[in-house]
Amino acid sequence: VAGSLRMDKKAQVALGGAGAALAAAWAFPAVQTAAAAGVLLPAVEQAVGTLPLVAVLSMAGALLFTSERAVQSKGSADSTRWASLFLLALVCGSHLPSAEALVREPAAPLAPRAPGGIAQASQLLSFSRGLSRLPRHNLRGGSAIIDPLLGASAHMKSPAEVLKMAGVDPKVGLSDERVASLRAMFGSNVLPSKEKVPLWKRFLEQFDDKMVKILLVAAGISTMFAVVDYGTEAHPFVEPLVIMSILVLNAGIGVWQESSAEAAIDALATFNPEKAKVLRNGQLSIINAAQLVPGDVVEIAVGDKVPADIRVIEKLSTTIKVEQAALTGEASSVNKDEHFTSGDIDETIALKDNIMFSATDLVYGKCKGLVIKTGSDTEIGKIAQALAETEDSESPLKQKLDKFGDLLTNVITVICVACWVVNINKFGAKGMALTGKDYVDWKVWSKGAMHFFKIAVVLAVAAIPEGLPAVVTTCLALGTGRMAKRNALVRHLPAVETLGCTSIICSDKTGTLTTNQMSVQKILLIEQGNKYLELDVDGITYEPKGDVKLKGAKVSATDYSALNELCKVASLCNQSGLFKNAQGVWERLGESTEAALKVLAEKLGASGLGKASGDTPVNDFWAAKHKKFATLEFNRERKSMSVLVGQEGEDKATLLVKGATEMVLQRCSKVRLADGSTIALTPEARKDLIKFVEANYASGKLALRCLAHAVLDKKISVTDPRLQDPNKFLEVESDLTFVGLTGILDPPREEVKGAIEDCRKAGIRVMVITGDNPKTAETICRMIGIFGPDEDTTGKSYTGKEFSVMTLAEKRVAVRSARLFARTEPIHKKDIVELLQEPVSEGGPGETAAMTGDGVNDAPALKAADIGVAMGSGTSVAQGAAKMVLADDNFTTIVSAVEEGRAIYANTKAFIRYLISSNIGEVVCVFLAVILGLPEVLSPVALLWVNLVTDGLPATALSFNPAEPGIMDRPPRRRDEQLVDSWMLCRYLLTGTYVGVATVWSYVWWYCRNPAGPVMTLKQLRLNLEAPVNIKFANDFGREVFNDKRPGTMALSVLVTIEMFNALNAVTESKSLLQMAPWANPYLILAVAGSFAQHFLVLSWPAAEVIFHVKKLTVPEWKYIIALSFPIVILEEMMKLATRIRDARAQ
């Protein structure tokens, strides 16, 4: 263009450079977008690094191409043109998007994923099509780069199309060099894992707390003073050693609590198969599954675990069935078909009937497949990634304690600084008293400053409730023990309290609300006059016990001939088995629906059975009487399976058939009536029967999986060649006689309905989030009371696909009203839980969410929830991600756990109220002593002893306070409810003020009012630093009385005694001690007695005299202590009365 416009050289250069820059600028954001979306191949990502080279080549080409006017010689101009063409070829032939892709309009970048948002594959389709135009360099064994749409669209393509996209021959497989190339692009087939934090790092992280940092500073300052004062003071290192011991102990507890955080990801690795059978270089071999790459052709047989996400390309048996309940939540195994294709690129996992997913189990058949996704790109890989990326949420109590700790830290800092500043004018006097000098220099002044700085440290130690973390941990551990007795095993201590404020329980359906054991619920026979005989079947597990009833009356196979024949078909047209495990629990071998029919046979009995023996006598009876000659396996076209059975040695046998109701009935020409007679099946009767089953069993309130059972009255030869040809199976299964119909369901647990009603009374919403189909899920929800029998579910029931296409605002509305999400994928469950927990300030509902589940697909949501609850019989992955495990798989245990959680929160408030009011008292005591200029009233070690040991026992005993009546009739507390409201803070301050004033007064009393003491004036006490050396007080006390240990012992004893009375007050927050006496909690009485015993031990132990600066007291002194301490009970009773009046007015 520049050449044709005859532009000068500078303009040509500018235009060439601008063109190159424009091309690169257009291409680069599009490539970045695709890379972020996860659809760009690593090879292309590497090629993106050569974009600057493209710009250089383009500019050079433009310069050479447009420099014809600058070259005088024609030959040189020709050379220039050839050079420019060569450079253009280099650009177009490089490993980059085609020239068209560089200049076409760039794809619109994907919007950032909002909370709860899910990236849709259809959003990537347009851009991926551009990537699919990448040049391919053929190697032996296929092209080096496979189609980037392979993983996203394999379920939409035929086997031939998928193989073409992968560029692989299904008879040869990949070559070694191509495997190496693909592994360089996609990596190994291993699940992603979160980098483990070293133990030392976890330990150090425990000190990242404001209050802990204050104590660390206090320990450091105490150590510095100990070094400075070494040799002049006895045992100077006691204080810093005690403080550090406390901090190390608390850190150790924190590390222990976090030690199992990564268990879920570790357990997920056990789902990865170790070996895979793969076709490479034309040879079938067994390799480590981690070595698989996209494009590999693998062979999978019954019993194998699927090694990657695989597109079925060829069935090597008539039927393929995969057990994928752990991934999708479907109760029964599903059929896979290589000919199935979907029209939706965003199809849900459960509906991709031609894809086998990594870590699922092949329970029937054999097939070849093409690996389409490996490692973190697989569905289970996405779950592992979600687990690795999901951080453990803090419990509401932890959040409240952190906020309270931050507030307390700020207050402590201000008070400590103020305490030091207000005494600046006393630094000199105190320095002279400490050094014995009669003048002030900087050393003397510094000595005084250090003394008051030490008092500020004492104040910090007094203000911080060092025992609170240990008491909270102990309280939660005690609650854990009580919950374990109710079969709720807590893996994460704070989860105990979190249950107390749970406002919504998000529950998986299969295995949680239901038994995850398919069971026959209904039997339908035909009577004379085309009347329907409907039977109900008891039992909800694989245990072969239960009754079959007709209008409440028990019936068996001996009562109806057709019922006996149906029992025969159910038992023999079956490839499953039943057995008892080591724990005596009945389990199945094979497909769950067939196992349910085996159980039904045992419940029905059999004519001619005689005396029963063994665990499964009915099935053993039918198996002994008949030999199975052939099995016509299920396929999607017939939707039925059949077996040929007869007597040993006979050349003809009877065909028994079961399958989908409509398909089997279409091939039936006769009906076996209940009494054993046979009549013709008219088209009208067939139509009426199908309509009746659809209306009453297959949909509506039951949504049963219905199977029709039939026989071929005309015996066929056991050598009939049609039995070996799957294309002839439909011909064999014709002219059948309909025997009866069974309706099968994964039934709800018996106790669930009552538990959900209890949740409703407690103000807790129950939401079901399941991977099962909506019709079945709604039926279960009606059966357990989530929905009313005839309730319209519009706006209350959604599918995962409906949820994924909503805007963020629509999702927030949906989660507020929804009670059911069906056909969900693991990422949907996690997003729903996170949206429910979104704070109100950010537009979310602000719920405290508990999530229950048992499968691998539940693990991300279990970890994301405030409290994840796994079933004891569930997968180890779910249990590892959860904070609590239900040993009995009983949903009612959750309700019991919620009640326990509420009681624990009430008790937690009680001991926090007790501890904080005590600490406020200690702060008032130290600060008041500083303001009055008194000597040290309480030493740091004494304060630590009170905070940790003396207060620790009563605080822990308050964990045993009985729950108040009606605790489960109240709505759950709000997540943002303050731990300490304004009135509670007022109570803390009033109580603390009395504690502090009484403690200081007892110290002053000993000096000024005690008849056996020095009886000095308050002024003399305040001016103790200036007292003459030869001063004399009453009772022959001299200046040394200011170093006497008894006043400090009086103060310590008053502090301990008041706090014991205060502990008795804390039995209830608002009721009088006359209404709820302290002995309602006998452990508290023992704890108070134990604390007093410890205190007397300290006073009488010689070593304690040195450590705590204490001395024995006289009886009159103890009488004064009790008289000074008891008024705290009266003060608390007055505040409780005010609380009751306040609450009554609020109501």
Q: Indicate which residues carry an active-site annotation.
A: 508
CA distance 590 to 217: 65
Region of 1022 (left: φ > 0; alpha: ψ -120 to 50; beta: rest) is: alpha
Please name the helix (run of DSSP H) or strand (run of DSSP E) that holds residue 15, with its range, or none.
helix 9-37
Hey, what amino acid is at 642? S
The full DSSP string for 687-748 is HHHHHHHHHHTSSTTT--EEEEEEEEEEEEETT-GGGG-GGGHHHHS-SEEEEEEEEEE-PB
CA distance 1142 to 525: 68
CA distance 1116 to 1098: 19
Torsion of CA 801, 803, 805, 806, to 10 degrees: 160
CA neighbor of 998 nearest in space, from 1123, 1099, 1130? 1123
* Sequence-distant (≥ 6) Cβ neighbours of residue 8 within 8 angstroms: none
CA distance 87 to 16: 13
CA distance 631 to 366: 16
Please give the angle made by the CA atoms of 501, 506 and 508, to the nearest 5 degrees: 145
Phi, psi of 169 (to 5 degrees): -90, 120
CA distance 940 to 197: 35
520, burial (CB in 10 Å: exposed 0-12, middle 13-18, buried 19+): buried
CA distance 270 to 603: 38
Integer Rg of the chain from CA: 40
CA distance 153 to 342: 9
Please name the helix (run of DSSP H) or strand (run of DSSP E) that holds residue 929, with its range, or none.
helix 891-932
CA distance 847 to 852: 15
- In the sheet where 275-280 sits, what is the strand order? 283-288, 275-280, 297-301, 366-373, 309-315, 355-356
Question: Strand, coil or helix: what is 981?
Answer: coil
651, burial (CB in 10 Å: exposed 0-12, middle 13-18, buried 19+): exposed
Q: DSSP assignment, residue 1036?
A: G
How remote is the C-alpha of 846 from its chain's centroid?
Answer: 17
Phi, psi of 1017 (to 5 degrees): -85, 160
Q: Which residues of 1026-1041 are buried (b: 16+ CB within 10 A; e: fewer)?
A: ebeeeeebeeebeeeb
- Helices (H) and strands (E) in the chain — how many of each? 43, 32
* Sequence-distant (≥ 6) Cβ neighbours of residue 271 within 8 angstroms: 305, 326, 359, 380, 856, 875, 877
Q: Where are the beta strands (DSSP E) in 571-651?
A: 577-580, 586-589, 627-632, 640-646
Please say whether the beta carbons of 915 and 923 come within 8 A: no
Q: Where are the beta strands (DSSP E) in 994-1045?
A: none
Strands 867-871 and 884-886 turn out to be parallel
